[in-house]
Amino acid sequence: MNPSAFRIGVAVALALLCHPAGAQTFKQQQLRHAHVQAAYRDKEAAVKKLLADKGVAYPPGRLFIRVFKREGRLELWAASRPAERLALVASYDICAASGGPGPKRRRGDGQVPEGFYRINHFNPTSTFYLSLGVSYPNRSDVLRKTGRDPGGAIYIHGDCVTIGCMPLTDDKIKDVYVAALEASDQNRREVPVHIFPCRMDSAGMAALRAEFKDDRALLDFWAELKPGFDRFERDRMVPKASISAKGKYLFPGN
């Protein structure tokens, strides 16, 4: 037997012996599943090194995921403690895409959402290897939907296929799943997920304005997202948006 597989198996067995049903931690519950066991066996050491190379403790005290649709990139940020500035520890290719720039507004539109979310579901038995649910629709999405149903079931997952989600390869979803599970289990803290149409620096915004110059509503929506991008770029701390009665994203001072 592979020594790593043996160690994972022993850890799972001890967890089940020491924590009867109903008393297990979230991580112990997840480790009952084969794909999570494989993720830890294959990638825990690599995740530890990614964090250590940036001076971040394992498990991290804070984790943040940022997605840029046009660039097809998912960034993983972390800090040793919740109040510390975050460091970029890894960046992954999103290996399939649907839709284009702009938010998701209804079921079946094929769009990947844009806005400010969190991980709200860890699925260890996903059809797409492993998957992390994104909290779409949020209150803004519900208030601004077109038609009766804004849709849902938006995930970061493996298997490299998608309609409206953010797929990675099976190899890379293991990294993200382990890091997110460790941050969530250790600190009981949510993992924020910010999704942007592109990197919203001056060049990215200029390209959007040129391409969508006749779509005032879309440009106004992106103007709501930009303070969230700018504040993180400046502070390396996750900014919190509030949502107005009409679904508009608001940041203090904007």
Confidence of residue 253 (pLDDT cuts 50, 70, 90): confident
Which is the catalytic residue, given 121, 160, 165, 194? Answer: 165
Q: Residue 222 has what pLDDT?
A: 98
pLDDT tens digits for range 118-165: 999 999 999 999 999 999 999 999 999 998 999 999 999 999 988 889
Confidence of residue 23 (pLDDT cuts 50, 70, 90): low
How far is CA 4 from each of CA 1, 82, 166, 180, 182, rounded to the nearest angstrom?
9, 31, 30, 21, 18
- Check whether 66 has a pLDDT greater than 50: yes
**pLDDT mean over 61-90:** 97
Instruction: Name the residue with higher pLDDT: 253 or 207.
Output: 207
Q: Residue 186 has what pLDDT?
A: 64
CA dist 13 and 79 (Å) reads 31
CA torsion sign for 28, 35, 48, 133 is negative
In the chain, domain spans? 57-250
- 57-250 architecture in CATH? Beta Barrel (2.40)
Rg (CA), the chain: 19
Confidence of residue 7 (pLDDT cuts 50, 70, 90): very low
pLDDT tens digits for range 193-235: 999 999 999 999 999 999 999 999 999 999 999 999 999 999 9
For the ranges 15-24, 91-100, 111-120, 167-176, which has the lowest average pLDDT?
15-24
Mapped onto helix, strand or coil, the DSSP state of residue 95 is coil
How far is CA 65 from each of CA 19, 86, 190, 216, rounded to the nearest angstrom?
31, 11, 11, 29
Task: Let me know if 165 is a catalytic residue.
Answer: yes
Between the CA atoms of 217, 220, 225 and 230, what dihedral angle is there, to the nearest 10 degrees? 150
Which is the catalytic residue, given 157, 160, 194, 198? Answer: 157
Task: Let me know if 194 is a catalytic residue.
Answer: no
